[in-house]
Structure 1
Amino acid sequence: MKIKQQLLELCTQCADKRVLGYKNEIELIKESIENNDKVSNEEDDSGNSKLLDDLEKNMNYLNDANKMREQLKLMRPNLVSDSVVLGSLVKTDSITFFIALSMGKVIVEGSEYYIISLASPLGQLLRNRKKDDEFQFNEKRYIIQEVL
């Protein structure tokens, strides 16, 4: 299960990067709000209103990213299930998926993997499927050859 560990590590790095990015953005917005408050003599608060909206959005994104990071911490790469669950490596006749978070295509040790979220449309199609199950996505048919 070395490959699952490597994919999980990539996901964790991505989640950490997202969290850091949102934290930095929040700090910049807070600084902008403070600077606007110091220099604003006008009654027009539309600038701060936009900044407050951006702050709220980024706080929500940060909250989601933290939840994603916590979910990744709960994943056990050694866990093997007969059906597709969070943390599964799903080998089909043409593509290999890792069920974790929405990250897209990555290449690890020369092999291509698609890291997808269980909540994504494709993740929902894969949920609880087993070896030899077939499914169709974007007019392409896939056969699950292995669930690790």
Structure 2
Amino acid sequence: MNLKEQLLQACYSYVNKRIASYKDELETIKESIESNDKSNDEGDDSGNGKLYNDLELNAQYLSDATKMLDTLKLINSKTVNTHVALGSLVRTTSNNYYISISVGKIEIDNEIYFGISLLSPIGQLLKNKTVGESIIFNNTTITITEII
């Protein structure tokens, strides 16, 4: 498995864990709501208000994670671009970036990569740049040394 395949796999793993966690949490909340409804026949649903809020919040998190999964499905790890695009591995004078989804730090073979979205602030700056071009991020000049 090449490096970009390993990075893509790490992103899939991250998203799949999040999706499973949110689905589990949603089931737990639904069960809690049902048990509150059964044990509370007087019409007092004060305990359910927070549960319904949590249900809505976790449903939104699940939706966001599913969108991340959809983004990953657009990446072909065998594609090599001459400019920074979705699926690019970008080596710079400061860090290595895998343009995919926002997952943060990924370590492979004792080397650090940052999974970032094209929509992130640094992703927006890197987008469509080529080797040798520079960006300024957090008052630091960063030069692209390689795009894989």
1:38 deviates by: 0.8
1:125 and 2:125 are equivalent in the alignment: yes
**TM-score for both structures, normalised by structure 1:** 0.94
TM-superposition CA deviations, 1:90-139 (whole Å, max 9, x none) = 11012110011111112101211111111111111111111111111112
Between the aligned partners of 1:37 and 1:131, the Cα distance in structure 2 is 61
Between the aligned partners of 2:68 and 2:33, the Cα distance in structure 1 is 28
TM-superposition CA deviations, 1:36-75 (whole Å, max 9, x none) = 1011134432321211111111111111211211221221
Matches within 5 A, 1:65-80: 65-80=65-80
1:135 and 2:144 are equivalent in the alignment: no
1:50 and 2:39 are equivalent in the alignment: no
Equivalent position SS for 1:107: strand
Please tell me whether the aligned partners of residues 5 and 77 of structure 2 are also in contact (alpha carbons under 8 angstroms): yes
1:4 deviates by: 0.4
Please identify runs of 4+ aligned residues in structure 1 that moved more than 3 A: 41-44
Between the aligned partners of 2:6 and 2:41, the Cα distance in structure 1 is 54
Equivalent position SS for 2:141: strand
Name the structure 1 match of 2:147: 147
- Count of residues in Structure 1 that have an aligned counterpart in Structure 2: 148
**TM-score for both structures, normalised by structure 2:** 0.94
Name the structure 1 match of 2:98: 98
Matches within 5 A, 1:111-122: 111-122=111-122
Give the superposed CA RMSD.
Answer: 1.4
Name the structure 1 match of 2:28: 28
**Which blocks of at least 5 consecutive residues in structure 1 are unaligned?**
none
**Which blocks of at least 5 consecutive residues in structure 2 are unaligned?**
none
Counterpart amino acid of residue 96 in structure 2: T
